[in-house]
Structure 1
């Protein structure tokens, strides 16, 4: 391991020299003479300057680079139904667009054809016997994986397990027991402004090292529910994915995963998965080949100001349940739609992301106590968590049809729920609702994200059979003095609540 004291001493000299030069450019001759007298009485240089940037990262990079590898992936991906690998997936297009595409291509849909795929990424050994870490997206759908070392050797590798939710994968090179390796720091201690070094394979240029500082921590990115990222300004580019981010002690404090870039190249904004998260996930993958997460069986969303106003809540904390998986843990425990989850095991819930992550960090079978708000009253519900299913299985699950919601929809025209709509959305004959077929630009519904094709299932705690029923519910809410009302909407992304402000008339 590198001597931190040596790095600090070198860094101290560098900083002090820069400070002296800057001071000399600002002081006049008399002040300069006074400064010289004072400097002659100063303590030794290395002791006078606190720890900071090292003069060189060479010792650190020389020590850790042998553990960093190139991950070469080959496999097959399916092409478009109309050929050429980049065409659209017609099954996910709206009916009118699908018909237009079929007419454009003569209605001749081809069977998907496998196309070769090759990609490069980075990784690093975490044990002498060949276990190594990379990103899930680097090895997804891989048929063959080859590891290239800093010494120019190549080894075949196999996938032990991957976790798409955190974008991590654990690989294994068999037959070797003397690989150089580094350690995932399970209890990292870093702050914004700390120096970091990234080593990886950007654009296929293996063994590339870059340095920068931590720009932010706890950064939520996109739909990554189970992870917040370390943001750094060390140069991260395509091919760095899966490579390590080191602190100055040579410990891995992050796994490079994403960049923000309008051009595809480095602009000084890179994101790494924190090492404590990675260590926990990798441990599960090594033990079981998969990550087991607790599962409640609900769809949730944040409590916005509009939703809070519609429900008569004083604040926007907690998470509101918009749908419940039939027969799932929440259904068995007695949860209802529109319950607002305030606490889990006595600790306040900040929002939907916080609730999902904390439930996911509890083992399946765990008994959990939830404090919820229902009809203006707090109550405690105990639930035994299940094992979170895969994404495909989750998508096929049906939700319980029974609960409240509230909303007024102005600026929308609606049509009855047809059998075709029921089949497309998987809705039973007992479900009533109206389909939004037109939205006036600038209306309240348009501002709140309601879209053409959305199905309004409930409003004001009642099922919606037609547009007039929705109008009557809105009028009644207005007469009761409410300024907003909730709408339960079925869209392409599933069910969600939308809170609309009530005007004086529809």
Structure 2
């Protein structure tokens, strides 16, 4: 019996020692992972103890209330033809396929004019607009400008509609609060907030189409395109257009066409039917330390004038090669996109005071802007300009536009620079305005027939599908 009790006590002591050692040396270094199973979505909890309050006096509710009812949902229906066999591929035909895209738009007048992005309504066969009160209307396309990615459409609502007034985007300041209003992922009437991160941002620095976007960190996603970027007073300072992302969704960088540029484009469309672009008539680029060193100058901000187009406003006004443009109408020019953005709100024959730095001293030169006489036929990958009477006479023709350059590598291999296009789709072409009208009226799936005269005076025709 004593032997049994002794063994029992030893067992108790050994067990207590083992449990204590486990508690002391093992358990404190282990973490138990628990996965909760729930039918509700999983969310990342927010730390409400953090100081996330806005600066005193900043209130977005009034701006949101003013704009949310004036931002609409745009549905674009397109019809494309899919070839069924090789014959369809070479000679046209096939099965019609309907595709639907969506985006946003901003009502800018009580009678139903709406501004949006060109890529939102591009190639549309039918446009449908839904207001914030769920009323739906068929929209009419008034005009587009692919270069700025701006389009104007209109609905007839038989009532006065809420609209967003334009602000002067030149007065926008880096760091000021803004709201992005749109319809991301088909979620209507969505408002996000952020600040202006940068101005005059060019996403295609080496492209022939210089850009000048307002950059913001307000969340913008697919479907926000064509929506409003507004200030805290509910005024339109930009049209949300693009994001930079490796995932295809918002990661902190979104870009808007400045309201001054958008307003000028739609006013031109309404008045002239196309966009009237005014240019200085210079060739040049932005300055930086490396370029300044190569040029032997000390300036690292501004636009260096490397060349002057003969007969342009810059030529007639007295701007010279080697000048450094520092201001336009007292608006600071630090880089080429500043210049492109400011001129984007101007028209031919507008007079701009150009402040240049020449030989160490500043000089103000009034320059009358001239009309940009080139047009990019995106569907052909060609840039054309108006042909002179002497160029037409040398080839024995009375009308046509001259191909200035190829826009793509595929077109460059054909060596079409210098040819004169006399007809597009069997319609006579007298100037670049005729080209614009023909291209804007053609059906998206329609082949393009280009009739031209080469430098040897030979008449040819190409058909592009």
Q: Shorter chain as normaliser: what TM range?
A: 0.5 to 0.7
Deviation at 1:261, TM superposition (A): 2.0
* 2:207 aligned with 1:227: no
Which structure 2 residue ranges, 5 or more long, are not aligned?
1-46, 388-411, 420-465
Give 1:69's aligned residue.
72
* 2:131 aligned with 1:138: no
Q: Is the 8 A contact 1:341 1:349 kept in 2?
A: no
Identify the range of structure 1 (247-256 vs 120-129) with the bigger mean alpha-carbon deviation: 247-256
Supply the distance in 2 between the matched residues of 1:188 and 1:322 (Cα, whole angstroms).
26
Matches within 5 A, 1:231-246: 231-233=216-218, 235-246=219-230
Q: Larger C-alpha radius of gyration, 1 or 2? A: 2
Q: Of 333, 337, 348, which residue of structure 2 is paired with 1:364? A: 348
Q: Of 191, 211, 214, which residue of structure 2 is paired with 1:210? A: 191
Structure 1 SS opposite 2:257? strand
Q: Is the 8 A contact 1:230 1:254 kept in 2?
A: no
Supply the distance in 1 between the matched residues of 2:244 and 2:250 (Cα, whole angstroms).
8
CA 1:164–1:422: 2 relative to 1, 3 Å: closer
* 2:150 aligned with 1:168: yes
Matches within 5 A, 1:385-464: 385-392=369-376, 395-397=383-385, 424=415, 426=417
Supply the distance in 2 between the matched residues of 1:63 and 1:331 (Cα, whole angstroms).
43
Deviation at 1:120, TM superposition (A): 0.6
Structure 2 SS opposite 1:128? coil
Deviation at 1:318, TM superposition (A): 4.7
Structure 1 SS opposite 2:193? strand
Supply the distance in 1 between the matched residues of 2:169 and 2:384 (Cα, whole angstroms).
38
Supply the distance in 2 between the matched residues of 1:351 and 1:194 (Cα, whole angstroms).
21
Q: Is the 8 A contact 2:120 2:225 kept in 1?
A: yes
Q: Of 234, 241, 245, which residue of structure 2 is paired with 1:257? A: 241
Q: Is the 8 A contact 1:134 1:241 kept in 2?
A: yes
CA 1:308–1:171: 2 relative to 1, 3 Å: same
Supply the distance in 1 between the matched residues of 2:173 and 2:366 (Cα, whole angstroms).
38
Give 1:125's aligned residue.
107
Q: Of 57, 77, 81, which residue of structure 2 is paired with 1:51? A: 57
Q: Is the 8 A contact 1:191 1:214 kept in 2?
A: no
Supply the distance in 1 between the matched residues of 2:167 and 2:361 (Cα, whole angstroms).
44
CA 1:226–1:22: 2 relative to 1, 3 Å: closer
Supply the distance in 2 between the matched residues of 1:143 and 1:164 (Cα, whole angstroms).
17
Give 1:278's aligned residue.
262
Q: Is the 8 A contact 1:165 1:226 kept in 2?
A: no
Structure 2 SS opposite 1:392? strand
Deviation at 1:185, TM superposition (A): 3.0
Q: Is the 8 A contact 2:212 2:257 kept in 1?
A: yes
Structure 1 SS opposite 2:250? coil
Supply the distance in 2 between the matched residues of 1:188 and 1:221 (Cα, whole angstroms).
16
Give 1:31's aligned residue.
none
CA 1:274–1:302: 2 relative to 1, 3 Å: closer
Q: Is the 8 A contact 2:127 2:139 kept in 1?
A: yes
Structure 1 SS opposite 2:274? coil
Q: Is the 8 A contact 2:313 2:370 kept in 1?
A: no
CA 1:153–1:321: 2 relative to 1, 3 Å: same
Deviation at 1:78, TM superposition (A): 7.8
Matches within 5 A, 1:274-353: 274-303=258-287, 305=289, 307-320=291-304, 329=312, 333=316, 339-343=321-325, 350-353=334-337
Structure 2 SS opposite 1:134? strand
CA 1:332–1:152: 2 relative to 1, 3 Å: same
Supply the distance in 1 between the matched residues of 2:67 and 2:352 (Cα, whole angstroms).
43
Supply the distance in 2 between the matched residues of 1:397 and 1:304 (Cα, whole angstroms).
32
Deviation at 1:148, TM superposition (A): 1.4
Q: Is the 8 A contact 2:68 2:132 kept in 1?
A: yes
CA 1:374–1:310: 2 relative to 1, 3 Å: farther
Deviation at 1:314, TM superposition (A): 3.9
Supply the distance in 2 between the matched residues of 1:354 and 1:321 (Cα, whole angstroms).
14
CA RMSD of aligned residues (A): 4.8
Deviations 1:8-34 (A, max 9, x none): xxxxxxxxxx99x789xxxxxxxxxxx
Deviations 1:291-322 (A, max 9, x none): 32212445433345555445443434554556
Deviations 1:79-123 (A, max 9, x none): 7xxx69xxxxxxxxxxxxxxxxxxxxx9x9735668654311111
Supply the distance in 1 between the matched residues of 2:253 and 2:413 (Cα, whole angstroms).
45
CA 1:141–1:220: 2 relative to 1, 3 Å: same
Supply the distance in 1 between the matched residues of 2:245 and 2:276 (Cα, whole angstroms).
33
Deviations 1:449-487 (A, max 9, x none): xxxxxxxxxxxxxxxxxxxxxxxxxxxxxxxxxxxxxxx
Q: Is the 8 A contact 1:193 1:215 kept in 2?
A: yes
